[in-house]
Amino acid sequence: MTSVIHQPLHRTLGLTDDEFAQIENRLDRAPNDFELAVFSLLWSEHCGYKHSARLLSRFPTAGEHVLQGPGENAGVVSVGGGLAVAFKVESHNHPSAVEPFQGAATGVGGILRDIVAMGARPIALLDSIRFGDLGEPHQRWLFENAVAGIGHYGNCVGVPNVGGECVFDPAYRHNCLVNAMCVGLLPADRVTRAQASGAGNLIVLYGATTGRDGIGGASVLASQELSDEDADKRPTVQIGDPFTGKKLIESSLELVEGGHVVSLQDLGAAGLASSLSEMAARGGAGVDVHLDRVPLREAGMVAAEIIISESQERMVAVVSPDKLAAVEAVCAKWELACAVLGEVTSSGLFRCFFDGEEVGSIPASHLTEAPRYEVGRRARFPTAAPRRDAPSEGTPADVLRLLGSQNIASRAWVYEQYDHLVQSRTIRRPGLDAAVLELPGGRGLALSLDGAGRMARLDPCTGGSLAVLEAARNVACAGGRPIAMTNCLNFGNPEKDEIGWELAEAIEGMALACEALGTPIVSGNVSLYNETDGEAIHPTPAVGCVGLLEDVETIPGAWRAGDVVLALGSGATRLDGSEYEAICLGRTDGELEQLDLAAEAALVAALWQLAPRVSLLHDVADGGLAVALAESALWSGVGAELDLGWDTVTLFGEGVGQAVVACSPEIADLVGNAGVPSVQIGRVGGDSLFELELEELASTYGGLARMMEAAI
């Protein structure tokens, strides 16, 4: 007879023996099962940042515009005129790998609530998504449903999706990435913070009712590696209701604008357990919560299920007793459940009651101060592959192969499923570099979200810098002066030395680039354990950038016949890590160039300063200069005569900052005196480019849509 070995409860909940010993030591007793469940979630990687918190302190977080840096639901920066912008990017990777529609949809819902919790009205969404090869039916299913989930939630709540990126690489075959960014507007003097304060103030839960969906999501899905058996984890994926989400946004803003709440906190990962303990810890207070008062949509839920449920569309508010009637009236107006769960105390304890009995009592600081681990110090540094010869000359066929490839073809199939004009602020639509939204007084907000995976795999430090620099260049090409950034760090298992080293190196590279640009990181998210059966994704830092324009009338548009075309920036000197090598040569190894960060920052500054005077600016990124020129021609509907030749490094090299500039001949000297290298490479005119008709380029560029339509 085979004996069954039962693991201790703490191990089944994802806690190590040492962590369980720390819990006993902190409590000076053994935790009961309810308390252990709460600890397991708050000390999960997703909530506790056990392997990343020390590294994240490397980021610059202060600056002239910063009103709120990391530590709250979102970062907030002043944009002048009495206005501020709240923004953040977060991941919903593991849920999307299990159930892509709901995983992606609730990722959007969660980031919307983070922005609302700061007292801001959401005005824009962006997304960074990554999947395996679209030649595989399962990858197409994941991609199609994740895009549908993003579009469904954003379209229903009426927040425009204005930008982002999508990437396809076998490294994401088992672990797709779905990172969602939200941007909101609020008065600069009305930043709402999530902290419990004022003993005797009430804890009010409002929004959707609570069910069993999402239970364990933070620890089971986002803090562990996946395996081929994870179809069984579908019940842990949250279910979104965007129509309730819309009511929650409007009611929350009405409560804030009416001065009816002391603070707000959304309910996301770990549900009430995380939200209430974090509010208590931030405010140096305690909370007493009666879980039997939580409005339920499923009968028979026990205290542990209620406290850790991750049901969507819920918020918690701290309310003074004299404002309770006003809060209840607002919730009734919007037909939302509303219940007083308890009150703020001065005890410092997170105490939970059920049917009149105390089921758990934990100092709030014990829950929010998870163990901290060192990572990356004993790493096995990867050895760069030997450089190999590449063809010295490219061909028109190479341009077509790149332009029609999965990672470069037009993303119109994606963003045309999103409403990017709702709210009537969108001045520059998706399709080229950054989007622009109009602010009062004719000023603008430029937004981008970009990541680095393929490059970061070869050199995570350089890859981290490249993610920051591309986001900044995209904003600058739309005329925006970058003022602040947010980030989402997507990596494998940090307990493995090499992965820990990748994480540390990428953060260092990002920090160095931010310091060179003078742009702080004010918010972010870490998504680790993106591995399946020991196979990790590429180290993938994604960076969102916010930039300011003084006048939206000066946004660069399209190049025009007769314009001079210039390449601004020094450009690449090798092909290593480029899409050309992957698509045309079938290899993805090599060694990246070391960046001159001062030169990269000078290029970004030159771009946004030149923007009001030129016809077009476009960042050189995937596919190199050749693809940037082709995209510029297709965006503008006009070809160009080029004096470039067919040198492969010049045309297809990547990894060093460069941009395409088109301007009138009278302005060309101004571009040449911008303080960065520039070279005139042609003149706009005609209906061809690289010996190829624009019609053929456009047809090839639409390859992603044809691939998806053929699969339906």
Residue 9 carries which side chain, given as an amino acid letter? L
Helix (H) / strand (E) element for 428: namely strand 426-428
Q: Which of 92, 290, 420, 538 is catalytic?
A: 92
Residues ≥6 apart with Cβ < 8 Å to 167:
129, 130, 131, 407, 451, 453, 454
The Cβ of residue 79 has, within 10 Å, a number of other Cβ atoms equal to 20
Closest CA to 637 of 570, 555, 701, 704: 701
The Cβ of residue 412 has, within 10 Å, a number of other Cβ atoms equal to 14
Q: Which of 10, 46, 174, 366 is catalytic?
A: 46
Strands 66-68 and 177-187: unpaired
In whole angstroms, give the CA distance from residue 64 to residue 518. Answer: 10
Closest CA to 146 of 176, 175, 112, 113: 176
**Direct distance between the N- and C-terminal alpha carbons of the chain, in angstroms, rounded to an integer:** 51
With beta carbons less than 8 A apart as the criterion, state whether 88 and 114 touch. Answer: yes
- Respond yes or no: is residue 92 known to be catalytic: yes
In the structure encoding, which two tokens stand for residue 291, read together? 């879980």
List helix spans (H) across 99-221: 100-116, 137-157
In whole angstroms, give the CA distance from residue 84 to residue 8. Answer: 49
What are 647's strand-pairing partners? 393
In whole angstroms, give the CA distance from residue 398 to residue 479. Answer: 31
Q: What is the sign of the dihedral through the CA atoms of 44, 47, 49 and 53?
A: negative
Which residues of 268-419 form beta strands (DSSP E)? 286-290, 314-319, 337-345, 349-354, 357-363
In whole angstroms, give the CA distance from residue 565 to residue 571. Answer: 15
Buried b (16+ CB within 10 A) or exposed e, 459-484: bbbbbbbbbbbbbbbbbbbbbbbbbb
Residue 315 carries which side chain, given as an amino acid letter? M
In whole angstroms, give the CA distance from residue 691 to residue 138. Answer: 38
Please identify which residue in the block is written with the tokens 């192969």.
401
In whole angstroms, give the CA distance from residue 198 to residue 670. Answer: 59
Residues ≥6 apart with Cβ < 8 Å to 191:
67, 68, 76, 84, 86, 118, 119
In the structure encoding, which two tokens stand for residue 498, read together? 């090499």
Please identify which residue in the block is written with the tokens 């579009």.
151
Strands 66-68 and 83-91: unpaired
Closest CA to 310 of 245, 217, 232: 217
- Respond yes or no: is residue 94 known to be catalytic: no
Closest CA to 47 of 306, 269, 312: 269
The Cβ of residue 22 has, within 10 Å, a number of other Cβ atoms equal to 17
**Active-site residues: which are they?**
46, 92
